[in-house]
A and B are shown apart, each in its own frame.
Chain A
Amino acid sequence: MREKKSKRLKTLVFLFLAGLLCWPPDASAQFHPKDTEWPSYAADLAGTRYRPLDQINASNFSDLEIAWRIKTDNFGDRPEYKLEGTPLMVNGVLYATAGSRRAVIALDPATGELLWIHGEHEGKRGGAAPRQLSGRGLAYWSDGKEERIFYVTPGFRLMCLDAKTGVRIPSFGNNGEVDLKLNDDQDIFPDLITGEIGIQSAPVVAKDTVIIGAAFREGMTPKSMHNNKGYVRGFDVRTGKRLWIFHTIPKKGEFGNDTWEKGSAEYTGNTGVWTQITVDEQLGLVYLPVESPTSDFYGGHRPGNNLFGETLVCVDLKTGERKWHFQLVHHALWDMDISSAPILADITVDGKPVKAVAQPTKQGFLYVFDRVTGKPVWPMPERPVEVGSVPGEWYSPTQPIPSKPPAYSRNGVSIDDLIDFTPALRERAKEIASKYHLGPVFTPPTVSKLEGPLGTLTMGTASGGTNWPGGSYDPETHNVYVFACNSCIEPIGLVPAPKEVSDIAYIAGTAGREVEILHGPGENAGADSPKPPKKSAGGGFNRMDVDGLILVKPPYGTITAINLDKGEFVWQIAHGETPDLVRNHAALKGLNIPRTGQTTYNIGTLVTKTLVIAGEGNVTTTADHPRGAMLRAYDKMTGKEVGAVYMPAPQTGSPMTYMVNGKQYIVVAVSGGPYSGEYIAYTLPSTGE
Chain B
Amino acid sequence: MNTPPRECSIGEEGDDDVMMKYSAAALVLAALASPIGPLRAQAPAAESRSVWDGVYTEDQAKRGETIYLKECAACHGAMLTGGESAPPLTGGPFLANWNGLTMGDLFDRIRKTMPQTNPGRLTRQQDADILAFMLSINKFPAGKTELYRQSEMLKEIRFESAKPAPKK
Q: Which of B15-23, B34-42, B47-55, B143-151 contacts A (4 or more CB under 8 A)?
A: B34-42
Q: Does A550 contact B (CB under 8 A)?
A: yes
Kindly provide the distance from the CB of B6 to the nearest chain A CB, expressed in whole angstroms: 7
Q: Does A82 contact B (CB under 8 A)?
A: yes
* Residue pair A78, B91 in contact (C-beta under 8 Å): no
Closest to A583 in B: B162
Residues of chain A within 8 A (CB-CB) of B70 are: 520-521
Kindly provide the distance from the CB of A66 to the nearest chain B CB, expressed in whole angstroms: 11
Within 8 A of A (CB), among B76-133: 77-87, 90-93, 95-101, 105-106, 108-109, 112-113, 116-119, 133
Q: Digitize A506-549: 1 where CB-to-B-CB distance is under 8 Å, 0 elsewhere.
A: 00111001001101110000000000000011100101110110
Kindly provide the distance from the CB of A76 to the nearest chain B CB, expressed in whole angstroms: 10
Closest to A339 in B: B84
Q: How far is the CA of A35 from the CA of B69 in the complex (A)?
A: 49
Q: How far is the CA of A640 from the CA of B81 in the complex (A)?
A: 32
Kindly provide the distance from the CB of A288 to the nearest chain B CB, expressed in whole angstroms: 18
* Residue pair B65, A537 in contact (C-beta under 8 Å): yes
* Residue pair B118, A127 in contact (C-beta under 8 Å): yes
Q: Does B156 contact A (CB under 8 A)?
A: no
Q: Does A73 contact B (CB under 8 A)?
A: yes
* Residue pair A521, B87 in contact (C-beta under 8 Å): no
* Residue pair A1, B91 in contact (C-beta under 8 Å): no
Q: How far is the CA of A586 from the CA of B165 in the complex (A)?
A: 9
Q: How far is the CA of A51 from the CA of B5 in the complex (A)?
A: 36
* Residue pair A543, B9 in contact (C-beta under 8 Å): no
Q: Does A294 contact B (CB under 8 A)?
A: no
Whether A618 contacts B91 in the complex (CB less than 8 A), given A132-B116, A490-B81, A673-B101, comes out as no
Q: Digitize A328-344: 1 where CB-to-B-CB distance is under 8 Å, 0 elsewhere.
A: 00000000010100000
Residues of chain A within 8 A (CB-CB) of B138 are: 543
* Residue pair B98, A674 in contact (C-beta under 8 Å): yes
Residues of chain A within 8 A (CB-CB) of B36 are: 626
Residues of chain B within 8 A (CB-CB) of A517 are: 69, 73, 78
Q: How far is the CA of A581 from the CA of B106 in the complex (A)?
A: 19
Whether A618 contacts B66 in the complex (CB less than 8 A), given A221-B78, A513-B78, A537-B136, comes out as no
Q: Does B137 contact A (CB under 8 A)?
A: yes
Q: Of A508, A519, A521, A536, which contacts B77 at CB under 8 A?
A: A508
Q: How far is the CA of A508 from the CA of B76 in the complex (A)?
A: 12
* Residue pair B92, A618 in contact (C-beta under 8 Å): yes
Residues of chain A within 8 A (CB-CB) of B67 are: 521
Residues of chain B within 8 A (CB-CB) of A490 are: 81
Whether A468 contacts B84 in the complex (CB less than 8 A), given A132-B116, A581-B96, comes out as yes
* Residue pair A79, B118 in contact (C-beta under 8 Å): no
Q: Of B81, B91, B108, B117, which contacts A550 at CB under 8 A?
A: B91
Q: Does B168 contact A (CB under 8 A)?
A: no
Q: How far is the CA of A210 from the CA of B102 in the complex (A)?
A: 46
* Residue pair A619, B97 in contact (C-beta under 8 Å): yes
* Residue pair A598, B137 in contact (C-beta under 8 Å): no
* Residue pair B100, A627 in contact (C-beta under 8 Å): yes
* Residue pair B66, A519 in contact (C-beta under 8 Å): yes
* Residue pair B105, A674 in contact (C-beta under 8 Å): yes
* Residue pair B91, A516 in contact (C-beta under 8 Å): no
Closest to B118 in A: A127
Residues of chain B within 8 A (CB-CB) of A468 are: 84
Residues of chain A within 8 A (CB-CB) of B73 are: 221, 517
Q: Of A1, A463, A579, which contacts B84 at CB under 8 A?
A: A463
* Residue pair A78, B9 in contact (C-beta under 8 Å): yes
* Residue pair B79, A491 in contact (C-beta under 8 Å): yes
Kindly provide the distance from the CB of B69 to the nearest chain A CB, expressed in whole angstroms: 5
* Residue pair B66, A521 in contact (C-beta under 8 Å): yes
* Residue pair B161, A580 in contact (C-beta under 8 Å): yes
Residues of chain A within 8 A (CB-CB) of B100 are: 621, 627
Q: How far is the CA of A129 from the CA of B37 in the complex (A)?
A: 42
Q: Does A128 contact B (CB under 8 A)?
A: yes
* Residue pair A584, B66 in contact (C-beta under 8 Å): no
Whether A516 contacts B66 in the complex (CB less than 8 A), given A221-B78, A462-B83, A581-B162, comes out as yes
Q: How far is the CA of A545 from the CA of B9 in the complex (A)?
A: 35
Q: How far is the CA of A508 from the CA of B74 in the complex (A)?
A: 10
Q: Does B157 contact A (CB under 8 A)?
A: no
* Residue pair B99, A580 in contact (C-beta under 8 Å): yes
Q: Digitize A49-78: 1 where CB-to-B-CB distance is under 8 Å, 0 elsewhere.
A: 000000000000000000000010100011
The DSSP consensus for interface residues of chain A is loop
Q: How far is the CA of A617 from the CA of B61 in the complex (A)?
A: 29
Closest to B68 in A: A516
For A77, A581, A600, A674, the residue with the greatest tally of chain B CB atoms inside 10 Å of its CB is A674
* Residue pair A618, B96 in contact (C-beta under 8 Å): yes
Q: How far is the CA of A81 from the CA of B93 in the complex (A)?
A: 15
Q: How far is the CA of A509 from the CA of B81 in the complex (A)?
A: 12
Q: Does A131 contact B (CB under 8 A)?
A: yes
* Residue pair B61, A538 in contact (C-beta under 8 Å): yes
Kindly provide the distance from the CB of B51 to the nearest chain A CB, expressed in whole angstroms: 13
For B36, B38, B58, B78, the residue with the greatest tally of chain A CB atoms inside 10 Å of its CB is B78
Residues of chain A within 8 A (CB-CB) of B84 are: 218, 337, 339, 462-463, 467-468
Kindly provide the distance from the CB of A492 to the nearest chain B CB, expressed in whole angstroms: 10
Q: How far is the CA of A402 from the CA of B18 in the complex (A)?
A: 58
Kindly provide the distance from the CB of A558 to the nearest chain B CB, expressed in whole angstroms: 15
Q: How far is the CA of A81 from the CA of B105 in the complex (A)?
A: 13
Q: Does A676 contact B (CB under 8 A)?
A: yes
Residues of chain A within 8 A (CB-CB) of B133 are: 537-538
Q: Does B1 contact A (CB under 8 A)?
A: yes
Residues of chain B within 8 A (CB-CB) of A467 are: 84
Kindly provide the distance from the CB of A250 to the nearest chain B CB, expressed in whole angstroms: 25
* Residue pair A599, B77 in contact (C-beta under 8 Å): no
Q: Does A2 contact B (CB under 8 A)?
A: yes
* Residue pair A78, B82 in contact (C-beta under 8 Å): no
Q: Of A77, A128, A586, which contacts B8 at CB under 8 A?
A: A77
Residues of chain B within 8 A (CB-CB) of A541 are: 79-80, 137
Closest to A521 in B: B66
Residues of chain A within 8 A (CB-CB) of B82 are: 463
Residues of chain B within 8 A (CB-CB) of A586 are: 162-163, 165
Kindly provide the distance from the CB of B22 to the nearest chain A CB, expressed in whole angstroms: 15
Residues of chain A within 8 A (CB-CB) of B98 are: 673-674
Chain A interfacial positions (CB closer than 8 Å to B): 1-2, 71, 73, 77-82, 127-128, 131-133, 200, 217-218, 220-221, 337, 339, 462-463, 467-468, 490-491, 508-510, 513, 516-517, 519-521, 536-538, 541, 543-545, 547-548, 550, 556, 579-581, 584-586, 598-600, 617-621, 626-627, 648, 650, 672-674, 676
Chain B interfacial positions (CB closer than 8 Å to A): 1-3, 5-6, 8-9, 12, 36-39, 58, 61-62, 64-67, 69-70, 73-75, 77-87, 90-93, 95-101, 105-106, 108-109, 112-113, 116-119, 133, 136-139, 161-163, 165
| Apart from the given pairs A619-B97, A621-B100, 15 other A-B contacts in the complex at a CB distance below 8 Å | A79-B6, A81-B113, A127-B118, A221-B74, A337-B84, A537-B64, A538-B65, A543-B138, A544-B81, A580-B162, A581-B96, A619-B99, A626-B37, A650-B97, A673-B97
11 A-B contacts (beta carbon < 8 Å): A1-B12, A131-B85, A508-B77, A519-B66, A521-B70, A537-B136, A541-B79, A541-B80, A586-B163, A621-B39, A673-B105
In order of increasing CB-CB distance, the 3 nearest A-B pairs are A673-B97, A537-B61, A537-B62
